[in-house]
Amino acid sequence: MSRDVKMNQKVTFKSSCKAYIKEVKENWKEKLATLFIDIICDIAGGILIAVGLYNFASAMGFPMVGFNGLALIVFQLYRIPMGMFVIAMNIPAILICYRRIGKRFLARSFKTMIITSVIIDYIAPMFPVYTGDTLLAAVCCAAISAIGYAIIYMRDSSTGGTDFLMMAIRSIFPHVSFGNIMFGLDAGVVLLGTMILYKNADSFIYGIIIATLMSIIVDKLMYRTNSGKVTLIVTEKGQLLCDAISEETGRGSTILNGYGSYTGQGKEVIMCACDNKQMYGIRKLAKRIDPNCFFIIMESNDVIGEGFKLN
């Protein structure tokens, strides 16, 4: 092998090594930045969850949902720290469910669970306890807790507990929806707390109100900020209608080729995503341009792309 060829191979090898080392350094920086943001979100979400649980629910006598609800029962009966009990409850849940939830999600959730539990036991008692109106306390408890959970969920993590159990139950009973499993677990914990601690219907009602509000608020925070409408318009004047929609609302559309199963005739199907206010104008346009069109309006929880959220 000539000397020039050897020199070229040596330079190529060095360049490859430098490129690899640079890539590793960049990945580590990115991973550390992601971890830092995750921890900040865990702390922020954990504080909100802890305040809702300790400073509102525990102080006002509300039964809560999930493992936090079970921890609240034990805390009221035996004064065992809630965060410590949540960690203890999650250990068997992790052992049962770890094969079904994935290592990455499990690791992130375990980190979040530890941070949240420490905050519940050591940070929340530093804040003042609410002792005002009961209904206002229930609403604040639900809103504060829901914001905390949404912050954590949007970082692809969880506080463990019933999130793990839902996946395990679903694997055993695949025909049962996640919504039904969640409602069953939450209602069961609220009922248990009411029967053991409070023994009155008002507490159960407040517990159900809190659980319902939390579910709605989490859904709104995670999806509805980019929600809107999607319409499907079956028409024979596809391009004309698309041009009118673009001129009137500034929204683009997609024309799909359709086929009527009954008539056997070809049709054009326009698909258009827009916000709630624009849908009324699109509906009027469609009926004006093609009175015989078939118009479908659907809710969209999240729209990603140009004109909406980009990622």
Instruction: Specify whether 288 is located in the same domain as 161.
Output: no
What's the one-letter identity of residue 308? F
Instruction: Specify whether 216 is located in the same domain as 253.
Output: no
Phi then psi for residue 65, to 5 deg, are -100, 165
pLDDT higher than 60, residue 137: yes
What's the one-letter identity of residue 118? V
307 pLDDT band, cuts 50/70/90, is low
Distance CA 16, CA 228 (A): 48
41 pLDDT band, cuts 50/70/90, is very high
pLDDT higher than 80, residue 178: no
- Give me the domain span that covers residue 254: 227-300
Instruction: Specify whether 218 is located in the same domain as 247.
Output: no
Instruction: Specify whether 167 is located in the same domain as 99.
Output: yes
Q: What is the pLDDT of residue 53?
A: 95
What does the DSSP assignment read for the chain?
A: --HHHHHHHHHHHHHHHHHHHHHHHHHHHHHHHHHHHHHHHHHHHHHHHHIIIIIIIIHHT----HHHHHHHHHHHHH---HHHHHHHHHHHHHHHHHHHH-HHHHHHHHHHHHHHHHIIIIIGGGSPPP-S-HHHHHHHHHHHHHHHHHHHHTTT----THHHHHHHHHHH-TTS-HHHHHHHHHHHHHHHHIIIII-SHHHHHHHHHHHHHHHHHHHHHHTGGG-EEEEEEEES-HHHHHHHHHHHH----EEEEEE-TTT--EEEEEEEEE-HHHHHHHHHHHHHH-TT-EEEEEEES--BSTTSB--
311 pLDDT band, cuts 50/70/90, is low
Q: Is 0.85 topped by the overall pTM?
A: no
Of the candidates 217, 227, 251, 222, which has an alpha carbon nearest to the alpha carbon of residue 300?
227
Q: Judge whether 43 lies within some domain.
A: yes
In this predicted model, what pLDDT tens digit does every residue of 60-91 receive, in sequence order? Answer: 999 998 899 999 999 999 999 999 999 999 98
Instruction: Specify whether 211 is located in the same domain as 231.
Output: no
Last residue of a domain, which of 152, 187, 222? 222
Q: Judge whether 215 lies within some domain.
A: yes
Q: What is the pLDDT of residue 133?
A: 94
Q: What is the pLDDT of residue 215?
A: 83
Total structural domains within the chain: 2
Q: Judge whether 110 lies within some domain.
A: yes
Report, as an integer, the average pLDDT of 100-104.
73
Q: What is the pLDDT of residue 234?
A: 93
Phi then psi for residue 263, to 5 deg, are -85, -25
Last residue of a domain, which of 158, 190, 222? 222
64 near 189, Cβ under 8 Å?
A: yes
Q: What is the pLDDT of residue 172?
A: 77
Higher pLDDT, 153 or 232: 232
Distance CA 133, CA 140 (A): 11
Tell whether the torsion through CA atoms of 15, 18, 22 and 28 is positive or negative: positive
Q: Judge whether 24 lies within some domain.
A: no
Instruction: Specify whether 214 is located in the same domain as 241.
Output: no
In this predicted model, what pLDDT tens digit does every residue of 14-32 receive, in sequence order? Answer: 565 566 566 556 677 778 8
Distance CA 303, CA 308 (A): 6
In this predicted model, what pLDDT tens digit does every residue of 228-260 receive, in sequence order? Answer: 789 999 998 999 999 988 888 888 899 999 888
